Each structure stands twice: as structure tokens, then as C-alpha cells.
A and B are shown apart, each in its own frame.
Chain A
């Protein structure tokens, strides 16, 4: 390895809580797989769903959220290819959401993949589906899971919550009729959960889960906020392994506890000047999910001293944020008190979730552009790498408008096409050649081979 001598090199070290994160994720999938052996319940739904609501059914209720499972499949490209073949053979178009096709493929193949890549025979069907719907594919995804399970002789009841009420104003109270529309569906959903599970719903568990979810999502934003430091204590490739816990179990106490540990460790790294990328000299952010089978592009970037310090996606899919009157974007503080009743819990989680940054772009591209501009400014970012993601219609929506907005704001933008979950749509060597040219156009030279 050769390193250009005049570039400053920061100290670096591995995260101490890394193994803990890995184990939490591993246990999550295994708990779901073995839930029935312990008399527990399994449910399926999206990472965006109100996961704190089924928590009121008991402490032995385990879920698998769809997007992270689709991403896990994508990471194991051979298995992903088999999933794509299976969904296309079943008559689904190959242009649909890539996570969704991976997930359906896993059912069609009757195989389940674990985090280490091992494939288990027999897809573990859920006892019920609990989903929400903001993107065109969200509820439809699980409607088809239900249909596919029916073809296999299993009836899976499904409930989905419509959240497509728009994005609230940063400085005005949420409109009550919108909040109530969602909260009432959640309330109906609790009755439905009792009916399909045969269990009595526990409001205390609900209040705990809602509070855990608020803590997890606020803490994750705090972690991301610490990445404003130079050098960045975390790089985005590592952040993917950390934010994912929020997409799996944001309502669980172990998730909130882990993010607390992580926040403290990252704070300490900032204090000690520990860098994720020792040769950091150029900071970028990305956008939308990465092509999961090709994360080595981040390692290639490091050879130029470029570090991705995050993205609106890694910050805002799970993290909750808010604007200050002075225009700065900060982690959303927790409400003054934990909810004590079912009604309070439902109102609180709806009002909280309506501000999810990743909801904004569904309605108005300007809102996302504004958030990205804030990140560029506050995180001292040099350029934005926009992933025009063919695999996700929900997060790529309005992306061309975001490109316009960022360019108008004078921010260098590198757009590249790919697919988070289907490697056939990503050209690694072509993308790297263009990225190299982009870096060189900004004056960057390769620091090491």
C-alpha cells in the first residue's frame, strides 16, 4: 500500500459495540424463526410499520421486517438471483420493487436466509401481517405475501394502516383530523390484533414499546448528529450495520439500550478524534439505499480519502429530527413524558412518526432538498452522490427534482443508476469509472491502491 505522504492521517479504531450490533441482528432473525417453538407469535410487516403496536400482545411476539430482509437477500447475490428467477417465473414484472421481489422469491423457493448467508429450508410463514402504506408497494407487497401463502395452503390475516396524509409543517401543530385518521386505524388495529391472536392486549406493554421507539429514533439521530465532527467518527458503510437495528426493532428495549451505548461510544470517539476513515479529506453523502451487493464502492472511495458521512436515508429512515427556528436540523427531543394510556400512546406515536424525514419527499421534493442542504451545510459535506435506485420507487420518487435543487444550491452532485436489490441493474465498473472521473474533477487524487 502506498499513501501520499503529505495527507494527514487520523487515528482509527474499530467500534467496541460492533459485535453487540451483529449479535442483536443475528438473534432477531433466529428469534423469529424459532418463535413457535417457544410458544410465541410471528408477524411480518415493513420496517416503516408501527411496530410498537403488536408489542402489546406480549413479550414473545417476534417480527421480520420486509425491507431489511430484502436487503439481506440482496447482499447474498446468488440467493438473490434465485429469488428474482422465482418471482419472474411466477409472472411478476422484473421492474417491481427489488426488496419485494427478493422477499416473494424467498417464499416461492420456500427458503429463509439468515444473516450469515446460511439458507434454511422452509419459509417461516407469519401468524399475521401488520403493515403500513405510504409507498405504492407497501401494503400491496404484503397483500401478495398473503396471496402467496394462500397458494401454499395457509391463511395469513393482514392489517395495514394508511399513513398517506402528507407532511406536517415544521413549526405548526399537526392537523388533528390527520392525526386521528391514523390513530383511529391503529386503535381498530388493536381490536383486530386481539381477534386474530386470541390474546388480551396489554396497554402497559404498548406504552413501553412506544416510548422505546421514541427513544431509539431520537438516539439514532443523536448518533448521526455526532458525525458532523471532522474527522467523522463513523462512515456510512458501518452505519448501515447500526441503523438496521432500528429498522428491525425500534420498539424494543434492547434497541434503545444499544443506541444509548453507541451514542456514548461515538461521543467518546469524537472527543478523542477517532476517524472512521483515517485519510478523510473529502466528505460526501449518498441518497437512497445503496446497491447492497456492491458495498465495496465505499472502500474504493476511501482510496481517494473520501468518506460518506451518511445520507438522509441513513439519518432519517429511523432517526427523528426537527428544524430549529434558526434553520438548524437537530435530533428530535423526546416529549415531556412517557404515555400512560392506550389513547396517549397512539396519539404520541402518530404525532411523532408524522415527522419522519423519509415521509416528506413522498409529497414535496423541496422538503427533501431542504433537508439535504441542511446536511451538506451542518455535516461539512463536499458533494452528494445520488443513487438513482431502480429497485425502490418509494425512495427514488422525485430524485431528479432533488438533483435540480441541490445543483441550484451550488452543491456538486454525482448521480448514478443502480438497484439496491437486483444486481442486474448495477454496473460496478462503469459506476466506479465515472465516480473516479467525478473525484478527479474535484481535484482528488488516489491516495492508495
Chain B
């Protein structure tokens, strides 16, 4: 018996040690994601110098990165800085979302001056203006617009999109002087699929109570994926996947929140909300799960395989009609991840997302999830938002205290 207790104690101590090591390694990995985001421009410049290849800025996640990887081009997503984008006033009317204006502002301020090209995969009118503003006012070697279909629920969309992808591939070949073979496309597909698959697996650990990673950490994982070489990112994701089963987060279980809406890379907001005693256990953003939820299903015709992935992925609301499939997807996620409440983020002036707010609220309420809307602008008035979010969190916990 004594021997048994001794072994049990040894095992316990050993597990603590393992957990600490795990804690340490996973912290390092999350810290690396954070560093990549904070130093995205330095990273891209260094990559370019190291690899001798081109770097392409893209605006929307409808850009088929698989083809860029096949062409040995590093795709980096153009995101904003959350500083007032006053420099864009002459180029984009201020009734368009702050995100598109903030993106263009980065170009006008020279933050992305290392880019060799820019590409936009047709999505909303807002980002289209950022793309065209960039094309017209910032010297760039290559600017390409892919007419990604909007009618993704029609069977006609995928065959049409194959034509568009073939044109894009051809333009890249002409620009780089390098033929993109089927093997190249396979490599591109494999890198992207692996990245998405790993992030999706890691997301599973957000189901735990408490979740093995915070909403902020999850956001930083995805954002960094959009900024760095995915082969490097995949290595860290693989390690993280090994570490997460043993990762324990201190403290009591928080309120389980979901965050839903347009593009959102506001890390400060995520942290501030999570500091109030909540954890974002899942999201529905193009800077979150929507980016990696669906993989390319390989088939003989590579471009067809890629086209079908982008047609069948969790859609941006701008393409999601006549059925409201994203709304249902969000409700399913909420259920699956044991969500107590959802913050619906509306980037001011974003029509596609704004239109869906009442149906989204309705769908979430039907699965027992309360919602709270917040309108985001370029800067977030945290003082005011804090009071509102706290009040919302109280409504999610108040009943228990009463009874």
C-alpha cells in the first residue's frame, strides 16, 4: 500500500512537471504567434530576402492561397492597424467600413512597401475599394482581381470559378516566369490543408471546460497563419497539438462566450473581455474559424478541387444567399462548443453582416444562446463597451445568484 501511494505520488509529481513543461512550451508557441503578428512586416521582409521569392498581399480570404504557395509566393493578409485611417479620406468615402479604410491606410503609409503584388478575391464592395485604391495610388508590380462568384449556392458557380482560377494561375506564371505544375498545386493544397486541419484540431480543445486555450490565443494562432509561411506555422501547430492535451488553465471555469461578425483582429478587445471573467470558446470570423473550417478535397483536376473548396467553405455573408447557411453554422458551433452567450460584432457600415443580425440573433436564441450586439469602428470605446459587456455577462450568470 505504501509502495502504491509512493508510486502514485511520484506519478503526480511527474505529471506536474510535465504540465509545467507543457505550460512552458505552449506559452512559447502562443508567444511566437504573437510575435509574428507584432512583427509581421519584418518577418515578410526577412522571408523574402531568405527565400528570394515574391510576397503577395491579399485582402480577403477568398483568395486561393493554394495557387500562391504553388507559385512559391508568400501570401500575407493585409490587415489594419486600428489607428484612425485619416490618409484614406480622399480615396474612400467614409461610409465604407473602417477595415477597408484601415487596410488602404497601411499601403498609403508605406507599411507594406515590400510587397511585390496585391490580389483580391471578390467579396464585398468595401475591400474592393481598398484594392482599387492601392492599385491606383501605390506603386505595385502586380495587381490582380479574381472574380470569385457570389452565387455560391448555384451549381453553376464552381465550373465558372475554375475558369477564373485558370486565368489567375496563368497571370502568375507570366509574372513570375515559372510554370505552375500539378505537383506544385498539390504542394500548395497540402500546405494549406495541413494548416487548416491542424487549426481545426486545436479548436477542438476549446470545447474543454475550462478551454485549453483562450479566445485571444486562438485569434493569434489564426492571424499569424495569415501572415507567415504556413510551413513554419504548421510546425508550431503540430507541437501545440502535442502539448494541448496536458495544458491546464488556472482558475475557475469562465463564462463561455462566442464572438461572431465581420473581419475582427481586435486583440485588445478580446483580452479585455476575457479579463472580465469570460472565455471566447469559439468564433465565427474570417480571422477565425471561417478561415480554416473547410479543406480542399483532392481530385484529379486540381483547379476544380480548389474552386470547390472556396465555393463550399463557410461563406462570408456577402455570398450566402438565398439560404442563410452561415447563420445555421454559427448556431451549430454555439451548441457544439457549449456557448452561454454570444457577442455579435458589427463592423460599422458592413452591410452583408449587418443584414444578418436579426436572423443570427434568432437562430442563436433558438439554441438557448443569448446575444449582445456591439458596433465596432476603427477604435473601440472600451470604457463604454466594458460596462455593456459586464452587464451582458451578468445577465448570463444572474439567475443562478437569484435562486
Contact = CB atoms under 8 A, between A and B. Distances in A.
A378 interface: no
A139 to B, nearest CB: 4
A188 interface: yes
A173 interface: no
B150 A93 contact: no
Given A144-B355, A400-B92, A363 B145 contact: yes
A27 interface: no
A160 B151 contact: yes
A108 to B, nearest CB: 10
A162 B151 contact: yes
B169 interface: no
Interface in A109-154: 129, 133, 135-137, 139-144, 146-147
A398 B93 CA distance: 8
Q: Which of A93, A165, A188 has the most CB of B within 10 A?
A: A93
A394 B91 CA distance: 16
B160 A92 contact: no
B317 interface: yes
Interface residue tally of chain A, by bracket?
35 or more
A401 interface: yes
A166 B125 contact: no
A129 B321 CA distance: 12
B373 interface: yes
Contacts of B226: none
B167 to A, nearest CB: 9
Contacts of B125: 135-136, 362, 393-394, 397
Interface stretch (B231-239, B283-291, B343-351, B380-388): B343-351
Nearest to B161: A181
Nearest to A144: B355
A184 interface: yes
Contacts of B351: 95-97, 136-137, 140, 393
Contacts of A365: 132, 136
Contact of A139 (B129, B145, B321): B321
Interface stretch (B180-188, B201-209, B216-224, B357-365): B357-365
Interface in B135-174: 136, 145, 147, 149-151, 154-157, 159-160, 163
A336 to B, nearest CB: 28
A161 B348 CA distance: 27
A399 B90 CA distance: 10
A93 B322 contact: no
Contacts, number: 134
Given A137-B355, A144-B355, A401-B91, A164 B150 contact: yes
A390 interface: yes
Contacts of A396: 93, 95
B322 A400 contact: no
A388 interface: yes
B190 interface: no
Nearest to B354: A93
A135 B123 CA distance: 10
B151 A185 contact: yes
Interface in B227-275: none
A374 interface: no
Contacts of A143: 321-322, 324, 355
Contacts of A188: 154-156
A91 interface: yes
Contact of A90 (B96, B122, B346, B358): B358
A322 interface: no
Contacts of B373: 91
A284 B399 CA distance: 64
Nearest to B359: A147
A365 B135 CA distance: 11
Nearest to B155: A188
A364 interface: yes
A177 interface: yes
Interface in A161-204: 161-162, 164-166, 177-178, 181, 184-185, 188
B318 interface: yes
B390 interface: no
Interface in A83-115: 90-93, 95-97, 100
B151 A133 contact: yes
A90 B354 CA distance: 12
B95 A400 contact: no
Contact of B132 (A96, A129, A140, A398): A398
A340 interface: no
A141 B244 CA distance: 44
Contact of A95 (B147, B324, B348): B348
21 contacts: A91-B358, A92-B358, A93-B348, A93-B375, A95-B95, A95-B349, A95-B351, A133-B321, A135-B125, A136-B351, A140-B355, A143-B321, A144-B358, A147-B358, A160-B321, A162-B150, A164-B150, A397-B96, A399-B93, A401-B129, A401-B136
Q: Lowest 6 A-B CB distances belong to which pairs?
A: A162-B151, A139-B321, A181-B160, A93-B354, A158-B322, A91-B358
